[in-house]
Amino acid sequence: MPNLSCTVERCTHNKNNLCCLKNIKVGTTSATNRCETECDSFSQKDDIVKKFVSSVESPVTDISINCSAKECTYNNDHMCTATNVHICGDSCCTCSDTQCDTFKCCE
């Protein structure tokens, strides 16, 4: 399982630049570069219920990453095989504002 770091501060599941989910999903199928990927598990913090959920969640260091980016070299049967994965996105409001910074196009 990859180690995941996440700098998407507006995500409900982000605590101290780590994700609190045990697994996430990275898309999109047709991505050919990191800017075309997104974290489909992103959930914006603005909702009061989501803030409460985040307050009881704990960060996870090893996480399962389901990946639909067919052109990523780390995608092996829809699972990410990278050792370290970084999800980023400033001022995110939707999944499409995030990206997998680790994406590497197959050669």
- What would the two tokens of residue 68 be? 């639909």
User: Which of 23-37, 43-57, 67-81, 87-101 is predicted least confidently?
Assistant: 43-57
CA distances from 97 to 11, 19, 42, 60, 92 (A): 11, 17, 9, 22, 5
**For residue 52, what pLDDT is reported?**
61
Average pLDDT of every residue of the chain? 89
Range of the domain at 30: 3-100
**For residue 25, what pLDDT is reported?**
97
Whether 35 is in a domain gets the answer: yes
Measured distance CA(25)–CA(66) in Å, rounded: 5
Mean per-residue pLDDT for 34-50? Answer: 84
**For residue 60, what pLDDT is reported?**
83
Whether 106 is in a domain gets the answer: no
Whether 15 is in a domain gets the answer: yes
Mean per-residue pLDDT for 13-35? Answer: 92
Measured distance CA(78)–CA(9) in Å, rounded: 26
Domain total of the chain: 1
Pick the closest to residue 95 from 5, 11, 30 (CA basis): 11
Whether 105 is in a domain gets the answer: no
Pick the closest to residue 57 from 16, 96, 97 (CA basis): 16
pLDDT score of 55 more than 90: no
Whether 43 is in a domain gets the answer: yes
pLDDT score of 83 more than 70: yes
**For residue 91, what pLDDT is reported?**
85
Contacts of 19 (CB under 8 A, 6+ apart): 4, 6, 11, 13, 41, 59, 60, 63, 87
Mean per-residue pLDDT for 55-59? Answer: 76
Measured distance CA(103)–CA(30) in Å, rounded: 12
